[in-house]
Structure 1
Amino acid sequence: MPESVRRHYELYPYPDYPLFASVRRRDTYANNLDALWSLFNGELAPTGSRILIAGCGSFAPYPFAVANPGVPITALDLSTKSLKRARLHCLLHGISGIDFVSGDLCDAALAPGPYAFIDAYGVLHHLEEPQAGLRALAARLAPGGVLRIMVYSHYTRREEDSIRRALRLLKVRDPEQVRKMVRKSAPQSRLRAFFENSEEVGSRSGLADALLHPQVTSYRIDPLLELIAASGLTLLRFAHRGAQPEPGREIARMRALEAEQEAPGNFVLYLGRNCAGPCPHGDGVFRVNPCLEGALSPWRPGTLHLPGRLGHEKAALDGAERRFLRRFRNPVPAADLSPTELPRAGAYADRLLLMHSRA
């Protein structure tokens, strides 16, 4: 990885969340290892499974640890400053036991596998050779293992990329220089409009990541598919907002959008190595995602709101839905569910609110 990228994150650790910013365990449900493993393998994760956060930044180890108490987690990042902030964030919230590793994810000697789950969210598009990076992660993935990636979409990032190229030509390298340019810009200028409509540029590190990063690649769908094919991994599912659950249908939808020079947002997707596939519809047992157990209390009033994941909209669980989910605090065989309850449980499992496994 270029030295310029390491220097960038030493100057601007990202994301710039307050150290006392906390997460509720129920909001981390889509990071739970057993839930992800059961969705793509029809089993709970094997004993001793580990998680790797590749390019962990200054925050991700904390919510992953909240979602997976007792699971060994390795947090790997190029920036020592980002790792220090991530470690401090964990310590302030009573979390220990994470292995923080400094270095380039392409270095096979660092954080050797196998890992049951690897997260590389917003990482590959900052590598000089994204294909080499994806292959390095694939080599660490256990059989049945799952890898989540997020990469920039060309049509979502057009304005950022255009501004970033212009700033580079002007040799603008400091966030405050950019803010001065915005203050001097015409009210209807593209630069002023971008700043008024972007949440990214609210903080110094967010502005630097969006507009001053030295290494950025944005993808259209077909070059992204070529990148995946070269890795030897299987595309399991797209997970950005509005994504169709069947990859082929989502690829067709994205190609149609790109024909109109549009995009569904940045690409979020899950890849796998020899995953066994989900548990058959009428077999196995259903369990509630352990991250939700505390939120399903019968004494909790009102509606339970959860963030949307895997392409789904946000979940708003009323009292009847919470009562249904509480039934699965202990494993419930699929055979014990009625013809109307079984598809309902399956829909919750597709959202990771329940886990469907063979045993």
Structure 2
Amino acid sequence: MPESVRQHYELYPYPDYPLFASVRRSDTYANNLDALWALFNGELPPPESRRILIAGCGSFAPYPFALANPATSIVALDLSRKSLNRARLHCLLHGISGVDFVPGDLCDPDLAPGPFGMIDAYGVLHHLADPGEGLRALAARLGEGGILRIMVYSHYARREEDSIRRALKLLKVREPEQVRRMVAKSGKESRLRGFFESSGEVASRSGLADALLHPQVTSYRIDAFLDLIAASGLTPLRFAHRGALPEPEREIARIRSLEQEKRAPGNFVLYLGRDTKGPCQREGGFRLNPCLAPALAPWRLGTLRIPGRLGHENAALDGAGRRFLRRFRNPVPAASLAPDELAKAGSYADRLFLMRSRG
């Protein structure tokens, strides 16, 4: 990892959320290890797989991951001590303990040794000097049946800000305040002003620095991204950016079609696996994702809005939907469900609201 990247995050810990910003546990449901393991392995994880690594954790991610997995061992790894200190403080202020914070480079095999049942590297690989080395280092830590989530920048989603970032680098602009002064002096129709008016990320100092002043950035077209994955030895399981099709092959074809028009579905979010067993199709039963249990309490009235994950836009849960999901607080055999109930439960399992497992 270049020293310039470490220095960047020492100056601009990212993301810059307020320390007292809280998250509802129901909103962390897609970070739950049991739900993800059941989706891709058709069973709940064995004890030896109940370990999570957040690689490049930044200043916030350990909090929602620990909230989603209170009984799971979590290691938070980041090369910036300032980001780790802020992440640790955020956890402490919200009563979260048990996270192991480790400073250092994810490419160092002696740091945070595996195996892990889940690794999260969201928005990390594209900031490495050698993303392939980083991905291989993470793959080496992943246990059998393990799941790795990555997000990398898409070339066509990032085209405007990459162009601005390169121009600022040529002009030797290094501080957010310099950029803001340039925006203030720019014309109403300028590309720089247009980007600022359309991007929520630049509202904060660290967000602006991450978008436009980062010293190391790689953006990917889909085929270059697939080459990166192929060299890791891991298997694509499912794209999870907004609007993604559930089958990787179909989504890859859709992205290639978009790229022919110089468009993208946004940045690429993808789950990878090592020797995963595949989902449970017919046998077994369903149980509720534990993160959703508090939000489904009978005394909580009205609709429940749950953010979309795995490419889905989730409709608000009305009273009927909440009553249906409450039935699965304890395991319910698939064989006991009527055909329409089975289809409904399967749809909820696909969204991680329910967990379907063979056992």
| Coarse TM-score class (shorter-chain normalised) | over 0.9
**Who is 1:188 aligned against?**
189
Cα distance in structure 1, aligned partners of 2:125 and 2:356: 31
Residue 57 of structure 1 aligns with an amino acid whose one-letter code is: G
Q: What is the DSSP-based 3-state SS (H/G/I as helix, E as strand, rest coil) of the residue aligned with 2:26?
A: helix
Q: Tell me how far 1:300 sits from its aligned partner.
A: 1.4
Q: What is the DSSP-based 3-state SS (H/G/I as helix, E as strand, rest coil) of the residue aligned with 1:116?
A: strand
Once the two structures are superposed, residues 52-73 of structure 1 have per-residue CA deviations (whole angstroms, 9 ceiling, x without a partner) of: 0000000000000000001000
Residue 340 of structure 1 pairs with residue 340 of structure 2: yes
Q: Tell me how far 1:314 sits from its aligned partner.
A: 2.8
**Who is 2:277 aligned against?**
276
**Who is 2:51 aligned against?**
50
Residue 85 of structure 1 aligns with an amino acid whose one-letter code is: R
**Who is 2:266 aligned against?**
265
Once the two structures are superposed, residues 19-52 of structure 1 have per-residue CA deviations (whole angstroms, 9 ceiling, x without a partner) of: 0000000000000000000000001111141000
Q: Name structure 1 gaps, 5 residues minimum.
A: none
Identity of aligned residues (%): 79
Residue 151 of structure 1 pairs with residue 166 of structure 2: no
Residue 50 of structure 1 aligns with an amino acid whose one-letter code is: R
Q: Tell me how far 1:88 sits from its aligned partner.
A: 0.3
Report matched runs for 1:255-334 at 5 Å.
Answer: 255-280=256-281, 282-334=282-334
Cα distance in structure 2, aligned partners of 1:129 and 1:228: 13
Once the two structures are superposed, residues 249-302 of structure 1 have per-residue CA deviations (whole angstroms, 9 ceiling, x without a partner) of: 10010000000000000000100000000012x210100000000111122111
Residue 169 of structure 1 aligns with an amino acid whose one-letter code is: L
Q: How many residues end up aligned between the 2 structures?
A: 358
Residue 253 of structure 1 aligns with an amino acid whose one-letter code is: R
Report matched runs for 1:212-291 at 5 Å.
Answer: 212-280=213-281, 282-291=282-291
Residue 167 of structure 2 aligns with an amino acid whose one-letter code is: A
TM-score normalised over the length of structure 2? 0.99
Cα distance in structure 1, aligned partners of 2:314 and 2:334: 26
Cα distance in structure 1, aligned partners of 2:201 and 2:294: 33
* Runs ≥4 residues deviating over 4 A: none
Report matched runs for 1:32-47 at 5 Å.
Answer: 32-47=32-47
TM-score normalised over the length of structure 1? 0.99
Cα distance in structure 2, aligned partners of 1:24 and 1:151: 26
Q: Name structure 2 gaps, 5 residues minimum.
A: none
Cα distance in structure 1, aligned partners of 2:336 and 2:258: 43
Cα distance in structure 2, aligned partners of 1:296 and 1:74: 30
**Who is 1:80 aligned against?**
81
Cα distance in structure 2, aligned partners of 1:113 and 1:61: 18
Q: CA RMSD in A?
A: 0.5
